[in-house]
Structure 1
Amino acid sequence: MRLAALSILSTVCILHTVPGTSAQFNPFQNGPYKTMHKNFLPWITSGLNHYVDVWAPDTAEPVETPIIYFAGGLGGLMPGELYMNLFAKVASHGITIVQPMMNDPIGNYEGVWMDDVMEWGETHLAKELANAGIGSGLILDHHSLFLMGHSAGGHVAVEYLKHHCGYAKGTILMSPVDGFDPFGLIPIYAITPGEYLNVAIPSLVLAAGLDNVKGIDGAGAIVPACAPNDMSNQRFYDAMPEKSWFVNATYYGHGDNLDDFYADSIEFTHFCAVADKSRDREDYRRHISGMITSFIKFTLGQEDCSVLEYLQDPSLMPVDATVMYKPSAIDSSEDVCQQCDCKWQADPYPHL
């Protein structure tokens, strides 16, 4: 509780130092670019070993885009169809998203398989998108990468970074869940509670307030929540040694960021807790997209420090939310407005 209080205090102090943001940038509305979604099949696409979904800006005007490599729910087993609405919003701001599906649910949890997908992306993706008819202005920046995961896909993203930074500039975790399953039956964990990770990278944790609420009524201890408190969200935030933001959308559930058909299915089956009917899922998707876009634009220096108000001021967000921020634990001289690179070492960073 003391750490959380200190984090909130840090946020409040920072907000007083952030100047006004230009009205030209509004992360909670669609950006200036039309977008294309394309899926690529491994058996008919050169050099590809995974089923891959891609969202990218579709423009004739030159735009250099950073790339998000995303691991979906169930540790990367969920297809891109679930995230169409959300990722089209992100791509409209000049960001490309690549979502491969995992082939081996257990063996691939270390995340190193992402290197094969990244190598394919650097070698083939621009040509494949051009063949699909995307506008000639798209320029893929393969040296500005972000690792992102949803649910147990957050475990995959973190495990990848534990092996090396590569060209990663930041990590974004949507309701991340550690381990292979919420029951904890298979002890595969990315994080050791009480320890920092061995990678220091700017991080954004996007929690849902109902993550820890069981979706199946009356199930008691038989069916756990989709993101139990001890396995999710704060567990990841506490493990990050570099500057990190934690934004909790208070009244939304674990799958409310998905397209309506899939979110409705979760509600119908009671698989996870969901927002009540008074809460608009479209507002939540705008919120998540805005958080992702603001974090990337700031981390790459594409927007100045004023963009942080979208990450740190709940009054600007489309949904009710609480916010925490913690500064770097490895460089006390680093201020919130300072961009920083990913740092990796063999052993966990110590608590100083």
Structure 2
Amino acid sequence: MATLPLEVKITLSKSTDVFEPGKYEVKPCTVRTSHATKPPVDLFIVTPIAKGTYPVLLFCHGFLLPNNGYSNLLKHIASHGYIVVAPQVTPPSTSQGSRESISKVTQWLSQGLPLVLPEKVNPDISNLALSGHSRGGKTAFALALGRLDKRCHKKKKSPIRDNPNLPKFKALIGIDPVAGRAISNRGPPRILEYIPRCFNMSVPVAVIGTGYGNQSAAPLIGIPPCAPDGVNHSEFFNESKPPACYFLAREYGHCDMLDDWIADLLIFSKSGKGRDHMRKCVGGIVVAFLKTYLEGDEKDLDVIVSDPGVAPTTLDPVIYVKSEKC
């Protein structure tokens, strides 16, 4: 990966509480397609229950993983004052179907989401962020880029943010995103072009990678790594325009931000020690990034960038490129 120049803002404060649960009590619920609001797919929603209006995070799960398999991570994020909506799009949806389903969910949010939330809890759809893990991370990038088609990457449609029927994403967070099995084996759309800062979008980007994601849990029996080099987190960051952040959780694996009950089943994924630390780390980074670009509060993100040691896991490297260089 071509390393982008580091540009950070140093603050005097060296403390942050984003890695600990927030002040809001939260409630998880599942909304089925049979619900009166007619969501296009089943949804796992985690929301604060206190009266108020909250920003919304749309979360795309990994390939063949359950949306509620991230409940501890999503509860952590929601406890800091966010409504998290996680569509269930696989199985049996194809990659194309995943993008189309989540696109339909974004259209459902404004009318349907207020009707399934606790009383006096309101979503601020104008303050909408997008995130995803693994292949769901690629789906999130494809949505932000407006790439819903199966066609060659040289035949791009207009960006989704220019569609007046869809809300605008104000932040994009890829959690160990993966574009395919290898550079030569990437499903459509092939959003990676291997050109620095080539992604045609203005949304701020954070990429969280894992140090073990490119390692196989059982190389002797031919099990490939979950996040191979060339199609993983480093290339997604390399192609993102500023403002863009990069965090590498060096001692953890591709599925360590999942709940234990599902992560324990994924024996093909090399794991680190103490997944709770990884969930807190990922959740804290997500919260800090959302606070910066949805609420205009940069303090926590600046603290993490200037002193990565405040995180509950080892983050190395940490890169924050705030603007294009002349």
CA distance in 1, matches of 2:26, 2:278: 20
- Does residue 58 of structure 1 match 2:45? no
The aligned counterpart of 2:129 is 146
3-state SS in 2 of match to 1:123 = helix
- Does residue 114 of structure 1 match 2:102? yes
CA distance in 1, matches of 2:127, 2:279: 24
CA gap of 1:184–1:69, structure 2 versus 1, over 3 A, is farther
CA distance in 2, matches of 1:253, 1:39: 28
- Does residue 93 of structure 1 match 2:88? no
The aligned counterpart of 1:303 is 297
The aligned counterpart of 2:207 is 205
CA distance in 2, matches of 1:186, 1:295: 29
Question: Which amino acid is 1:282 matched to?
Answer: D
CA distance in 2, matches of 1:183, 1:40: 37
- The answer to which of 282-291 and 195-204 deviates more is 195-204
CA distance in 2, matches of 1:33, 1:182: 41
Question: Which amino acid is 2:277 matched to?
Answer: D
CA gap of 1:274–1:155, structure 2 versus 1, over 3 A, is same
Which of residues 9, 12, 16 in structure 2 aligns to 1:19? Answer: 12
3-state SS in 1 of match to 2:218 = coil
Is contact 2:285–2:301 with CA below 8 Å preserved after alignment? Answer: no
CA distance in 1, matches of 2:241, 2:48: 33
Report deviation, 1:305.
Answer: 4.1
- Does residue 236 of structure 1 match 2:223? no
CA distance in 1, matches of 2:283, 2:301: 14
The aligned counterpart of 1:157 is 140
CA distance in 2, matches of 1:143, 1:230: 35
Report deviation, 1:229.
Answer: 1.2
CA gap of 1:81–1:183, structure 2 versus 1, over 3 A, is farther
Is contact 2:209–2:247 with CA below 8 Å preserved after alignment? Answer: yes
3-state SS in 2 of match to 1:26 = coil
CA distance in 2, matches of 1:212, 1:45: 43
Report deviation, 1:87.
Answer: 0.6
Q: How does 1:236-315 map to 2 (within 5 A)?
A: 236-266=236-266, 269=267, 271-275=268-272, 279-305=273-299, 307-315=301-309
- Does residue 82 of structure 1 match 2:69? yes
| Number of aligned residues | 303
Question: Which amino acid is 2:271 matched to?
Answer: V
Is contact 2:76–2:280 with CA below 8 Å preserved after alignment? Answer: yes
Report deviation, 1:297.
Answer: 0.3
Is contact 2:179–2:187 with CA below 8 Å preserved after alignment? Answer: no
1:61-109 CA-to-partner distances (Å, cap 9, x unmatched) read x2x21111111011xx422221011111110000111111226313225
Is contact 1:80–1:99 with CA below 8 Å preserved after alignment? Answer: yes
Aligned Cα root-mean-square deviation (Å)? 2.1
Is contact 1:294–1:311 with CA below 8 Å preserved after alignment? Answer: no
Question: Which amino acid is 2:69 matched to?
Answer: L
1:138-161 CA-to-partner distances (Å, cap 9, x unmatched) read 221101111111001111111111
Structure 2 gaps of 5+ residues are: 147-159, 162-166
CA gap of 1:287–1:43, structure 2 versus 1, over 3 A, is same
Is contact 1:19–1:306 with CA below 8 Å preserved after alignment? Answer: no
Which of residues 27, 50, 54 in structure 2 aligns to 1:36? Answer: 27
Structure 1 gaps of 5+ residues are: 334-352
- The answer to which of 188-197 and 138-147 deviates more is 188-197
Report deviation, 1:119.
Answer: 1.9
The aligned counterpart of 2:115 is 127
CA distance in 1, matches of 2:176, 2:34: 32
The aligned counterpart of 2:168 is 167
